Amino acid sequence: MPMRTITNPILPGFHPDPSICRVGEDFYLVTSTFEYFPGLPIYHSKNLADWQLIGHGLSRPEQLQLPTKNPNAFGLYAPTLRFIKDRFYLVCTNVGANEGGEGNFLIWTDDIAGEWSDPIWLDTPGIDPTIFADDDGQTYYLGTHKEIYLRTIDLASGDLGPRQNIWTGSGAADPEGPHLYKKDGYYYLLISEGGTSYGHMLTMARSRSLTGPYEACPNNPVMTNRSTNLPLQAAGHADLVQDTKGNWWAVCLAVRPISYPLRHLLGRETCLLPVDWSNPWPEFGEEGHLPETIQVDTAAAPKETQKKSSKPDYVTLFEWDPTLIEEEPHGFLLHPNQTGLSDQGKLAAVFQRQTAFDQQFQATFDCRQLTDGQAGLTVFLNATHHYEGYLEKTASSQQLVFRRQIGSLWKVEKKLPYAADTVTLQLSADKETYRFSVVDEQGQAQPLGSGETKYLTTEVGGVFTGIMVGCYASASSSQQTLRVRDF
């Protein structure tokens, strides 16, 4: 097969905490989603370069309740995906649930592209769970709670054995994100340290015995981009996989800063790097760094697979409620409630990830049945940091509006009279600016307003997610409907 150069990230936009497994010639990958629903997207690839969304681990609201009490810092953290005895398993943490349904859980499926089970809740503390099946058939749960610990687990019942602490890390802050692998008679423990920001790094330890003691790799950290000028930063939280030719690879998260001081906009993204295991300790990437481009000995994905991959992963906040959102062949029906973008609650909104710095979004809103409310396009970090252009209708007026909110400060920056009940809104992005426009009947974009990207970066206003672009609506009363097309 020909060598092919691919550019990181392999899953651009908000795709943090990747976990990967291989079944035969097929690779499957899952990432964190925090407060967005459906949650835990499942991607499939034949070649590690071209990925197609095939489903979600959490697709039914009755599986669990996502927290609504704080913006983009709670919800679904750091899943692990494994294939054990002909069945797929996911373990994950739901952090900060409003009432019940908080903590670590296990779900399973026999059909990776189908529905997953209801959660089996696990009585065990901390975050970042993983599971490991040993050669003797015993399965283990590893978690993060001040240090890395190990317990036996029954995958059918969720019953857990006694806790054994096995490693505190290499001495840096926040040892977390453990994954365990067995190779050449050793158990290799891979974790992240330094916090999931610009000090992020991977460290490793190994032991002849599952329960330890574990000796730290003399070359720790085994991978980090801290204190470099590389375009990818904050690299860490990795999982390993071996391909059918025996080559080893890691998927990890990283960010692409847009300016100095370092600020990132698109969230933590999924990247790929080679792992050389020709020596007793693995060597990651290029001299322990995550490179921007890598060579992959693989063929391009079929065109039909690439076409299927182009559909966005449409999500909403907290719960996909059919009384608020209905999917149609070319768009959505929104039935707005009184919840707005600045409220921390379920609302009539559909989002997709911003995946490139230079990107354009457009949607057409049919607001004939909207009598007293607003509908439009938003660039959204969280409930306190977002910009939007929208059509506003009241009993006495109808106008286009551009509004921005940055923390506790918000301002309506422009109002334009607008008579039609249908409007096409456009959002154009580059590294510095978001520009909102209204598209006229001749297809020409007329400016509505603009805002700086820097105020929507994680360092200014966010925590663990990234920029989402959404179509939304809110209204003062119920029984109103609008149609969104071509988003």
Task: Transcribe 200-217 into DSSP letters.
Answer: -EEEEEEESSTT-PPEEP
Percent of the chain exceeding pLDDT 70 equals: 97
- 17, 128, 239, 319: the catalytic one is 17
Q: For residue 307, is pLDDT > 80? A: no
203-210 own/partner pairs: CB under 8 Å, 24+ apart: 203/169, 203/170, 203/172, 203/175, 204/281, 204/282, 205/167, 205/170, 206/281, 207/166, 210/134, 210/140, 210/150
Look at residue 310 in the predicted model and tell me its pLDDT: 63
Q: Which of 152, 283, 164, 153 is nearest to 217 (CA)?
A: 283
Confirm if 93 and 129 have CB atoms less than 8 A apart: yes
- 50, 128, 174, 176: the catalytic one is 176
255-281 tens-digit pLDDT? 999 988 999 999 999 999 999 999 999
Confirm if 223 and 201 have CB atoms less than 8 A apart: yes
CATH of 4-296 among 3.30.2350.10, 3.30.420.40, 2.120.10.30, 2.115.10.20: 2.115.10.20
| DSSP helix/strand/coil, 438 | strand
Look at residue 259 in the predicted model and tell me its pLDDT: 86
57-94 tens-digit pLDDT? 999 999 999 999 888 999 999 999 999 999 999 999 99
* Strand 120-122 with 233-242, pairing: unpaired
Q: For residue 311, is pLDDT > 90? A: no
CB atoms within 10 A of CB 226: 17
The Cα 433–Cα 352 span in angstroms is: 19
End-to-end CA distance of the chain: 37
Look at residue 299 in the predicted model and tell me its pLDDT: 58
Residue range 109-121: mean pLDDT, rounded: 97
Token pair, residue 260, equals: 């100095």
Phi, psi dihedrals of residue 454, rounded to the nearest 5°: -60, -25
Token pair, residue 484, equals: 């969104």
Q: For residue 479, is pLDDT > 90? A: no
Residue range 363-390: mean pLDDT, rounded: 96
CB atoms within 10 A of CB 21: 19
Look at residue 304 in the predicted model and tell me its pLDDT: 45
Q: For residue 1, is pLDDT > 90? A: no
Residue 221, preceding peptide bond in cis (omega within 30° of 0) = yes
Token pair, residue 446, equals: 């007329």
Look at residue 478 in the predicted model and tell me its pLDDT: 76
* Dihedral, 120, 123, 125, 131 alpha carbons, nearest 10: -50
Residue range 22-42: mean pLDDT, rounded: 98
155-196 tens-digit pLDDT? 999 999 999 999 999 999 999 999 999 999 999 999 999 999
Residue range 297-317: mean pLDDT, rounded: 66
**DSSP 8-class letter at 287:** T
388-416 tens-digit pLDDT? 999 999 988 999 999 999 999 999 999 99
Residue range 292-317: mean pLDDT, rounded: 71
The Cα 435–Cα 9 span in angstroms is: 25
17 is annotated as an active-site residue: yes
176 is annotated as an active-site residue: yes
Q: For residue 308, is pLDDT > 60? A: no
What is the topology classification, in CATH, of domain 316-486?
Jelly Rolls (2.60.120)
| DSSP helix/strand/coil, 459 | helix
Token pair, residue 80, equals: 């692990």
Q: For residue 347, is pLDDT > 90? A: yes
418-469 tens-digit pLDDT? 999 999 999 999 999 999 999 998 889 999 999 999 999 999 999 999 999 9
Q: How many helices (H) and strands (E) does the chain have?
A: 2, 39
Residue 261, preceding peptide bond in cis (omega within 30° of 0) = yes
Residue 9, preceding peptide bond in cis (omega within 30° of 0) = yes
Domain boundaries, the chain: 4-296, 316-486
Residue range 216-230: mean pLDDT, rounded: 97
Look at residue 266 in the predicted model and tell me its pLDDT: 98
Per the prediction, the chain carries an average pLDDT of 94
Burial environment of residue 446 by CB neighbours within 10 A (0 to 12, 13 to 18, 19 or more): exposed
Q: For residue 305, is pLDDT > 50? A: no
Token pair, residue 417, equals: 């009279």
